[in-house]
Each structure stands twice: as C-alpha cells, then as structure tokens.
C-alpha cells in the first residue's frame, strides 16, 4: 500500500451524511427552480447567495473560532457533489470562497487579517475572489505582469486580471502581483484588496460557454494603494501562497466535476427508464446499458479519487498529487459522462429544458480552471519524479 492510500476510510460519519443530505435538499429546493433561467440570463441572485451563507456552505471548512462550520474536506466534497449536480454556478462560488479565499486567509493570514476579512467571508456576509490569472499568465502563473511596487508603508498596485470568478460581486480580493521581478516567482506577493479601493475597477463580465450563472469578470488596478498590512505572509511568499491554496482548490473542482457527472448520469438513468423505442424502454437496449455501466463505473472511480484527496488533506498528508489526480480524472469523467447523457436523451438532450445540455457545457470549465488538465499532468509527473 502506498503512503497516499494510508488511512483510507470511506465510512461516513453521521455528520458527513447530514451535510450531504442538507446540500442535496438545498439543491432541490433552492437551486433547481430557476437554474435554466439563471444560465440563460447569466445571473445569480443575492438572495440565493445569502441563503447559501445561512446554510453555512460558504465557509464550511473555516474553524468555528472565525465563524465557519469547522467541517472536514470529506464533508466539503460531499456537499460540492450535491450542489454541482444541480447548479455548478452556485458550487463554484462555494469552492472559491472556501478553498481559495477562506483557506488562504486562515492558513497564512495574520490574526488581524482573519478578524477583519475571514470572519465576514466565513459567514457568507462577504464573498471572496482569487485573482491570479492575467491576459498573459494563466497556466504560466509565474509570468505576472501585475505589479505591487513597494512604497514603504503601502504597495502601489497596477495591472489587469482576467476570468476572475466572483469578480463582479466580491468584497475581498486576493490579488497576486510581482514586487521584485528580478527574483522571479520569489518576488511575487499576495495582497488583500477591498472592493471600492481607489483605482480598483471591475471590468467586463464574460459571456461564457458554461457556468453562466457564475459571475466572471476582468479586474483593473490603477495606482491602487494597498496597505502593507494587507500582504499575506512574508515578502515574496505570494506564488507559494497561490500554489498552496490551489492544491486544495483542485479538490473542490474535482468534486464539482464529480457532481456534474453524477447529476447527468442520474438524469440519463431516469430518462432511459421512461423513454420507449422499438416497443420497450431504451434502458432495455444493450446500447444504452453499455453507456450507463460505463458512466457509473467512471463516476465511482472519480468519487474514490476525490475522497482519497480529501482524506489525504484531512489526515495532514501531502495531497498535491492526489488533488491533481482527482481533478484530472473527475473533469474528464464530467466531460465524457455529460456527452453520453446528452446522447441518451437524443433530441431532447439538445434543448434547454432537459438540463443535460447545460451540464455538458458546465463540465468543460472543470478541465480549464484551477489548472488545465495539462497542468494537472505536470503537477502529478513532478510529484512522481521527486
Ligand atoms: N504546491 C506548493 N508549492 C508549489 C506547488 C504546489 N502545487 N507547485 C509549485 N510550488 C512551489 C515550488 O516548490 C517552488 O518553490 P521554491 O521557490 O521554494 O522552490 C515554487 O512554487 C515555484 O515552482 P516551480 O518552479 O515548479 O513553478 P513553475 O513556474 O514551473 O510552475 C506550475 C508550476 C505547476 C505550472 C504552476 O505555474 C501552476 O500550477 N500553474 C497553473 C496555475 C493555475 O492553476 N491557475 C488557475 C487560476 S485560479 C482559478 O482558476 C480560480 C477560479 O477561477 C475558479
């Protein structure tokens, strides 16, 4: 048995099952109605954000000391899967807020930063965004063109960020920027930027293929004065900070991909029992049975990888490789499964009322954000070759 498999225990506790049920119920009662309209019109109402906060989803892994749910990563995976079955635009907000913003602040922030920024984020009163990507720095995250010039007691922030989830609605932005270009990735910092700081402008909203209810914007910084106390960690820690938070973020996105896949599978299974061709339900045709068997097997394998990564993190084991493997595999399963789910639905799968076409469009982003599939392979290979 390899180290990564030590401590594997898929016995869920009562708390795990309660969280899973709460997320399932919330998705059915609050997210399902209106999900098609939100996708079509590209919006996500404040009222629903507030309800997700009240349910505790937005800060579920933050310790109770800072107003969070104090839950483990397994609970997070279970909740992410259930929410993503119905609405991946909602679940990406949960994932970014928990994994990238709250985790980053709790793990690396000062006590003052935690009190000021983490507490309102953990309750969902505030929403966070993580601003790493740039027009010319996506996969190659060290090539930051955004600059944070050291001016003594503040940083002068200049530059543009692209494709920022929660970009238009966040209150707190973790912005990665270059301070000492001669030091490469060791010259990068992460600054906490507040919405409304002078010189900070929210740019255009993206018109996307999928997760259209999610709010994705570019951000522009022009001579924004960010106080020194808003830097996370020591001078030059920003790149390490980004990489470390993304490791956990990848577990969230893997669980999102798992949810998109299992949501599409459940719809296809149900439909195949109801739809008749050649005198019998299509589920009785072997062509459909082969598809369902393949989908269910892939989904179970993706679920095991997601839970292994979550357990590695909960057991304080190194989870860089297991998180990247979970994201790589689950996002491929999401893509494959949703395409097959559309195929099983035939012509109905190609129209908006049947959910599977949206799930197919939503699946694609899981192979792109928080590191493309190619990046996950690089991360995995580096760990294997260490
Ligand atoms: N965990 C912790 N530290 C890591 C790390 C990881 N996974 N990967 C690298 N590091 C550290 C290294 O140890 C190294 O530290 P030292 O200076 O102490 O040696 C430092 O970071 C630099 O590492 P590399 O030289 O390996 O860096 P690199 O330039 O070769 O890049 C990469 C590595 C894996 C390709 C990285 O650039 C990467 O992950 N890119 C993808 C970025 C990404 O995921 N972007 C997504 C944007 S955010 C988003 O999508 C949010 C959203 O909207 C939902």
Rounded CA separation 226/191 (Å)? 7
Distance 39 CA to ligand 1 centre (A): 32
Q: Which residues are near ligand 1 (CB < 6 Å)?
A: 96, 130, 132-133, 139, 141-142, 165, 185-186, 239-240, 243-244, 246-247, 320, 369-371, 375, 378-379
Task: Round to whole Å and give the CA distance between 62 and 290.
Answer: 42
Ligand 1 atom index nearest CA of 368: 50
| Index of the ligand 1 atom closest to the CA of residue 138 | 45
Q: Tell me the whole-structure pTM to 2 decimals.
A: 0.97
Ligand 1 atom nearest to 133, measured from its CA: 47
Distance 104 CA to ligand 1 centre (A): 15
Nearest CA to ligand 1 atom 43: 371
Nearest CA to ligand 1 atom 47: 370
Pairing of strands 216-227, 128-131: unpaired
Q: What is the pLDDT along the chain (386 residues), one digit of tens a residue?
A: 344 455 566 789 999 999 999 999 999 999 999 999 999 999 999 999 999 999 999 999 999 999 999 999 999 999 999 999 999 999 999 999 999 999 999 999 999 999 999 999 999 999 999 999 999 888 888 899 999 999 999 999 999 999 999 999 999 999 999 999 999 999 999 999 999 999 999 999 999 999 999 999 999 999 999 999 999 999 999 999 999 999 999 999 999 999 999 999 999 999 999 999 999 999 999 999 999 999 999 999 999 999 999 999 999 999 999 999 999 999 999 999 999 999 999 999 999 999 999 999 999 999 999 999 999 999 999 999 99
Residue 252 buriedness (CB in 10 A; 0-12 / 13-18 / 19+): buried
Catalytic-role residue among 15, 82, 370, 374: 370
Helix (H) or strand (E) holding 173: strand 172-178
Tell me the H-state helices in the chain: 14-26, 35-41, 46-54, 73-86, 88-95, 103-108, 111-113, 119-122, 238-274, 286-314, 320-345, 356-365, 373-385
The reply to whether 370 belongs to the active site is: yes
Classify residue 138 as exposed, middle or buried by CB count within 10 Å of its CB (0-12, 13-18, 19+): middle
Contact present, 348 and 340 (Cβ < 8 Å): no
Helix, strand, coil % in the chain, rounded to nearest 5: 60, 15, 25
């Amino acid at each position: 048995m390899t180290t990564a498999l030590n401590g594997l225990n898929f016995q869920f506790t009562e708390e795990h099952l309660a969280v899973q049920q709460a997320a399932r119920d919330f998705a059915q009662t609050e997210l399902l109605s209106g999900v098609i309209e939100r996708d079509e019109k590209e919006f996500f109402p404040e009222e629903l954000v507030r309800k997700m906060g009240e349910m505790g989803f937005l800060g579920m892994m933050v310790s109770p000391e800072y107003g969070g749910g104090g839950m483990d990563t397994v609970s997070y995976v279970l909740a992410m899967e259930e929410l993503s079955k119905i609405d991946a635009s909602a679940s990406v907000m949960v994932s970014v807020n928990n994994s990238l913003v709250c985790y980053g602040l709790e793990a690396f922030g000062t006590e003052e930063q935690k009190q000021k920024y983490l507490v309102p984020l953990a309750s969902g009163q505030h929403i966070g965004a993580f601003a790493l990507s740039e027009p010319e720095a996506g996969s190659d995250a060290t090539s930051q063109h955004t600059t944070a010039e050291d001016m003594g007691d503040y940083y002068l922030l200049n530059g543009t960020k692209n494709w920022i989830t929660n970009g238009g609605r966040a209150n707190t932005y973790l912005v990665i920027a270059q301070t000492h270009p001669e030091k490469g990735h060791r010259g990068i910092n992460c600054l906490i930027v507040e919405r409304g700081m002078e010189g900070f402008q929210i740019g255009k909203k993206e018109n996307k293929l999928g997760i259209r209810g999610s709010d994705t914007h570019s951000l522009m910084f022009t001579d924004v004065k960010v106080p020194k106390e808003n830097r996370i960690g020591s001078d030059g820690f920003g790149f390490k900070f980004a990489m470390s938070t993304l490791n956990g973020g990848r577990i969230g996105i893997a669980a999102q991909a798992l949810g998109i896949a299992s949501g599409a599978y459940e719809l296809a299974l149900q439909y195949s029992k109801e739809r008749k061709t050649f005198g019998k339900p299509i589920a009785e045709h072997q062509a459909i049975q082969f598809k369902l068997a393949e989908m269910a097997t892939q989904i179970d394998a993706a679920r095991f990888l997601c839970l292994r990564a979550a357990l590695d993190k909960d057991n304080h084991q190194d989870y860089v490789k297991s998180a990247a493997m979970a994201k790589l595999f689950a996002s491929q399963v999401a893509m494959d499964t949703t395409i097959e789910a559309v195929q099983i639905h035939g012509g109905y799968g190609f129209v908006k009322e049947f959910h599977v076409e949206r799930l197919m469009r939503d699946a694609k982003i899981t192979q792109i954000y928080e590191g493309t599939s190619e990046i996950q392979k690089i991360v995995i290979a580096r760990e294997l070759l260490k």
